[in-house]
Amino acid sequence: MKKILLTAALFVPLFALAQDIKEYKATNGVTYHINDTVHLGKGSNSNGSFMFVQDRGLGFTLPGPPGRTAGGRGLPKDLANGGVIIRSIKKTTENNLEKYVFMVYAGGPLRFTLFIDDAISVCEVTPCKQSSAGSPVPVASVADEIKKLKQLMDSGAITKEEYESRKKKLLDQ
């Protein structure tokens, strides 16, 4: 009985760590699932490659300069505005911060690791935070619109009631 309990106690943590996450709601508000396509934007490195979509490689040294291996390179800029397919979702901890990592395929034999929230923050993944459709209208543009409406009312192109209703719509945004 003790052996069974000891064996069970040893294997329970292994099974807990081995569980895959089936879905993840990212910081851009999109819920990603396994086999979904993640739409890429532009790479954020100075050469146009992707900083947060890393080449996992094939696990062996490639021909070329000494010490160069398949892992650690960013996705090339040729795949900008393309898509990658999610194969698995993992949760990792780096420097006491929880990060979600997608293992993705972009076609071909190479696998890539996508640090989803970091990639969203620099618009390597779309939609990103900077391009949100629901962003508020800048105050200056609202003031300009009201000024134009006032000029239209003064010239007689619109009535005072139209002016007031449009002004109210602009101020309620």
Q: For residues 36 and 119, state if they share a domain.
A: yes
- The pTM (predicted TM-score) of the whole model is 0.57
Q: For residues 31 and 97, state if they share a domain.
A: yes
Q: Report DSSP state, residue 69.
A: B
The string of pLDDT tens digits covering residues 74-113 is 788 888 888 899 999 998 887 788 889 999 988 777 788 9
Q: For residues 146 and 79, state if they share a domain.
A: no
> Which residue has tokens 């892992």?
71
Q: How does the average pLDDT of the chain come out, rounded?
A: 76
Give domain status of residue 3, yes or no. Answer: no
Give domain status of residue 10, yes or no. Answer: no
Q: Burial level of 136, CB count in 10 A (0-12/13-18/19+)?
A: exposed
The string of pLDDT tens digits covering residues 8-40 is 566 555 444 445 788 999 988 899 999 999 999
Q: Is the pLDDT of residue 61 over 50?
A: no
Q: Can you give the length of the chain in residues?
A: 173
Give the chain's radius of gyration (CA, Å): 25
Instruction: Give residue 172's pLDDT.
Output: 75
Residues with Cβ within 8 Å of residue 140, at least 6 apart in sequence: none
Rounded distance, CA 124 to CA 153, Å?
A: 46
Domain count of the fold of the chain: 2
Locate 6 and state its tokens.
Answer: 């000891």
Instruction: Give residue 104's pLDDT.
Output: 92
End-to-end CA distance of the chain: 68
Give domain status of residue 59, yes or no. Answer: yes
Q: Is 48 helix (H, G, I), strand (E, B) or coil?
A: coil
Give domain status of residue 9, yes or no. Answer: no
| Residue 5 confidence class, pLDDT cut points 50, 70, 90 | low
Rounded distance, CA 159 to CA 156, Å?
A: 7
Give domain status of residue 13, yes or no. Answer: no
